[in-house]
Amino acid sequence: MIIDYRSDTVTGPTREMRRVMGEAPLGDDVFGEDPAINELEGFAAEMFGMEAAVFCPSGTMTNQIAIKVHTQPGEEVICDQDSHIYQYEGGGIAFNSGCSVRLLQGNHGRITASQVLQAINNPDDIHKPVSRMVGLENTSNRGGGSCYDMEEIRRIRDVCDLHGLSLHLDGARLFNALVATGQRAEEYGRLFHTISICLSKGLGAPVGSLLLGDQGFIRRSRRIRKVFGGGMRQAGMLAAAGKYALEHHINRLGQDHEHARLISEALSRKPFISHILPVETNIIIAEVRPPMTPSDFVQHMHEKKVLLFSVSPTRFRMVLHLDITPEMVAHTIKLIEEI
Ligand SMILES: *Cc1c(COP(=O)(O)O)cnc(C)c1O
């Protein structure tokens, strides 16, 4: 038995999910004729109290479309230095949108309204790029699954409104934040101009992300999706899996959070661990004390058929998800205790 903590993207569709995929009504989505996709887009938009949504093959694409539609070349995007849109999307902000990035040093991936305010360029200074968009990430991946405080988001939105900036949320793991904090999807729908959510992470669908926004924004996004090569045809099977995940796999995320807490407690008792980022959701990022290195730990666990990644020369990451059972967690804790 292999226990895979490398990412919450490794989940496979459940039996029931495969059944609804097989029975999904299909059509050509580039013509707007795939019933399952239309249903998913409407369902998700309604969940967030937003006007519209567009289904895309990945969260990278939904983020990159949002940035493309919010900005013009030469403008600037403000985000945390650990943001996925900066760290893990292949330089897409520059490649796709021709924008520069203002990186902020946040707290475990979270930035504040006063940091944003200070990073906004004077629009009358012709030397500076025009600040156009703020990107937040919730939960923050490199921040160890940290969650935003609603009040801070409200203050950031106020700053954006005052200075004419768009506010985009990379909500790849937003449902983990909702479950962990008790916040509501509609609050997010009110505070952000656009939201990206992933169905392929902890929710357990095989493929897919959604970009949510107002009617006009999503109409422009469909054009950019086509330009980026993301116009899919009979992709309703994927959409059906996504809708099933939204209906059945949100509440159970709390179990992943509990599993993460149990494993991190076991790790915290080991002398070779020097520090663990606060475990708020389903991600554990731990710092290893020299002479042990993250690769030593990864290698050791690999030999025991437990998979994980190191994420820097000093840190490794473990991610909990749908396919990790309580028995697997107990086995992992036993292996850690034996080291
Ligand atoms: C996984 C992830 C994405 C999207 O990744 P894709 O693999 O392109 O779907 C976006 N943002 C964050 C924070 C992520 O963890």
- Residues 55-68: pLDDT tens digits? 999 999 999 999 99
pLDDT digits (tens, 9 = 90+) for 136-189: 999 999 999 999 999 999 999 999 999 999 999 999 999 999 999 999 999 999
Residues in CB range of 91: below 8 A, 6 or more apart: none
Ligand 1 contact via 84 beta carbon (within 6 Å): yes
Q: Which residue puts its alpha carbon closest to atom 5 of ligand 1?
A: 59
Pocket perturbation via mutation, ligand 1, pick of 11, 60, 80, 83 by most ligand atoms within 8 A of CB: 60
Going by pLDDT thresholds of 50, 70 and 90, the confidence category of residue 293 is very high
With 0.95 as the threshold, say if the pTM is over it. yes
Is-contact 56 209, C-beta < 8 A? yes
Going by pLDDT thresholds of 50, 70 and 90, the confidence category of residue 87 is very high
| Mean pLDDT for the stretch of residues 48-56 | 98
CATH architecture of 13-248: 3-Layer(aba) Sandwich (3.40)
Q: Tokens in use for 267? A: 């790790």
Q: Which residue puts its alpha carbon closest to atom 14 of ligand 1?
A: 172
pLDDT of 331 reads 98
Q: Which residue puts its alpha carbon closest to atom 6 of ligand 1?
A: 59
Ligand 1 contact via 59 beta carbon (within 6 Å): yes
Ligand 1 contact via 80 beta carbon (within 6 Å): no
End-to-end CA distance of the chain: 20
Q: Please state whether beta strands 194-198 and 209-213 pair in parallel, antiparallel, or not at all (unpaired).
A: antiparallel
The residue ranges of every structural domain in the chain are 13-248, 252-338
pLDDT digits (tens, 9 = 90+) for 176-234: 999 999 999 999 999 999 999 999 999 999 999 999 999 999 999 999 999 999 999 99
C-alpha to C-alpha distance for 34 and 209, rounded to whole angstroms: 16
| Mean pLDDT for the stretch of residues 93-108 | 98
Pocket perturbation via mutation, ligand 1, pick of 108, 137, 138, 141 by most ligand atoms within 8 A of CB: 141
Ligand 1 contact via 168 beta carbon (within 6 Å): no
Q: How far is the CA of 338 from the centre of ligand 1 (A)?
A: 34
Q: Mean of the per-residue pLDDT values for the chain?
A: 97
pLDDT of 244 reads 98
Going by pLDDT thresholds of 50, 70 and 90, the confidence category of residue 39 is very high
Q: 252-338 — its CATH code? A: 3.90.1150.10
